[in-house]
Amino acid sequence: MFVVTKFGGSSLASAKQFKKVKDIVLADPKRKIVVVSALGKRDSNDSKITDLLYILHAHLKYSVPYEDVWKIIYDRYVEVRDDLKIDYKIEDELNLIKSQLDKNIPQDYLVSRGEFLAGKLMSSYLGYEFLDAKDAIEFNYDGTVNFDATEQKTKAKIAELKKVVVPGFYGAYANGVIKLFSRGGSDITGSIMAKSVNASIYENWTDVSGIMVTDPRIVKNPKTIKEITYNELRELSYMGANVLHEDSIFPVQELNIPIKILNTNEPNCEGTIISHECKDNSQAITGIAGKKNFVAITITKMHMSNEVGFLRKALSIFERYNISVEHMPTGIDTTSIVVARDQVEKCLYELVVDIKQELNAEVTVWEDVALIAVVGRNMANKRGLCGKLLTVLGENGVNMKMIDQGPDELNIILGINNCDYEKAIKVIYDNIM
Ligand code: ASP
């Protein structure tokens, strides 16, 4: 039985945090695979090592003196080692990296050293073996993960090494060249490890006691979600909820390995469990997320619904401009196509002209659209929820201009003006949650 345990940067920001990690890992002998991020911020004025490494790379690339940035990075790793009083000569690794610092050092390799060094320190501190992610996670040359090769390599390494620390955020192509995931990608490493060994659970330790129902910058101290399905979480993440890296859900979802979001600073808090099915189905709404800055392009043409191929033709124009469509609420003679503003900014005028000419239709454009996703696996069984949403928003002066319910009834998407965004989230949270 394996538990894969991933710790984010804030859980590794200092020796004090390393100690908490050790207590957590050693409390359960099933925690045999520990995945670590690079050292994170100790407080709000501090810097993340990954950010510093990107900056270091830019200095090297543009031949700007880099010693100061390098020294901050160097000192932080040495300081953690000293504070933990471990007998590990991290200077050797640091000096090896230093010797490679020149204009041509590949960015992915340099940035991956943040996780690599954190992994080295943690393995020495825990007494676990170090498993370099380049020997476990293999990328195809098109940038996707080669899951078969990864599973084979990981299984073989775990069978040999038993208990390991794996640095997150990177892997390598078959030729050994290091490749990074996108930012926040240590979550993906954890998920891939869990899939490869068919773990009983994937624990993701961070600095919050689970996933919050909505954005705490908008609603003060929102409730924590105890249970959520993978699909609900994907809906919320897609609409901006910043919890786990989006790509970290698929690998474990496939094998139905539950993910737990836990707090390194409060290890006894229950956190949030993400799985296929949840026991508690009393709440209609699981979470509320949203994003600003969409554009709704409304196309109107009499008898549009009777014109075979009309929607296909409309969508093919968007495809030609390489614009991905977010939502498409449709009436008899009218359809609205909602897209992210940054996708149409450069070509809005040309796009509208093409739609008018090719479809012989009227077009109106509504800019400054915010979308709010109200997500819940139990919404399908609750009558009157949409009505209630419309009522409370109306009563509180939010002009709702669009509503779109997913066919699986897992979400309701509301379109409002950007300026009403925060207010609408508060109103929904206060009145419906
Ligand atoms: N250290 C990387 C980042 O800051 C990866 C991670 O922490 O997941 O994006």
Q: What's the CA gap between 228 and 211, in Å, rounded?
A: 9
User: Each residue of 230-281: pLDDT tens digit?
Assistant: 999 999 988 888 889 989 999 999 999 999 999 999 999 999 999 999 988 8
Q: Which residues have C-beta atoms less than 6 Å from ligand 1? A: 8-9, 37-38, 48, 50, 114, 168-169, 183-187
Question: What is the structure's pLDDT at 22?
Answer: 98
Hey, is 237 helix, strand or coil?
A: helix
203-229 mean pLDDT: 95
How many helices (H) and strands (E) the chain has is answered by: 14, 17
HEC per residue, 49-111: HHHHHHHHHHHHHCCCCCHHHHHHHHHHHHHHHHHHCCCCCHHHHHHHHHHCCCCCCCHHHHH
CA-CA distance, 58 to 61, in Å (whole number)?
A: 5
CA of 185, closest atom in ligand 1: 8
By most ligand atoms within 8 Å of CB, the mutation choice from 169, 178, 191 for ligand 1 is 169
Is residue 407 pLDDT above 80, yes or no? no
Using CA atoms, how far residue 262 sits from 19, 64, 81, 163, 258, in Å, is 16, 41, 25, 21, 13
Kindly report the backbone phi and psi dihedral angles of residue 352, in degrees, each rounded to the nearest multiple of 5, phi listed first: -65, -40
Predicted confidence at residue 116, as pLDDT, reads 98
Model confidence at 190: pLDDT above 80? yes
User: Which of ligand 1's atoms lies nearest the C-alpha of 245?
Assistant: 8
Distance CA 373, CA 232 (A): 11
How large is the C-alpha radius of gyration of the chain? Answer: 25
pLDDT of residue 391: 92
Identify the sign of the CA torsion 184, 244, 76, 93. Answer: negative
| Ligand 1 center from residue 240 Cα (angstroms) | 18
pLDDT tier for residue 395 given thresholds of 50, 70 and 90: very high
Contact (Cβ atoms closer than 8 angstroms) between residue 88 and residue 124: yes
Q: pLDDT grade, residue 16 (50/70/90)? A: very high
Across the range 329-352, mean pLDDT stands at: 94
- Centre of ligand 1 to C-alpha 244, Å, is 11
How many angstroms separate the CA atoms of 78 and 98, rounded? Answer: 14
pTM of the model as a whole: 0.90
Query: What's the CA-to-centroid distance between 112 and ligand 1, angstroms?
Result: 9
Percent of the residues in the chain that have a pLDDT greater than 70, as a whole number: 100
Atom of ligand 1 nearest to the CA of 8: 7
pLDDT at 240: 83
Mean pLDDT of 95-110: 95
* pLDDT average, residue stretch 72-98: 97
CB-CB neighbours of 352 under 10 Å? 17
Residue nearest to atom 5 of ligand 1 (CA): 184
Quick one: average pLDDT of 355-372?
Answer: 95
From 170, 182, 183, give the residue whose CB has the most ligand 1 atoms within 8 Å, as the site to mutate. 183
Angstrom distance (rounded) from CA 83 to CA 190: 27
Q: How far is the CA of 225 from the centre of ligand 1 (A)?
A: 24
The amino acid sitting at 307 is E
pLDDT band, residue 305 (cuts 50/70/90)? confident
Mean pLDDT of 108-132: 98
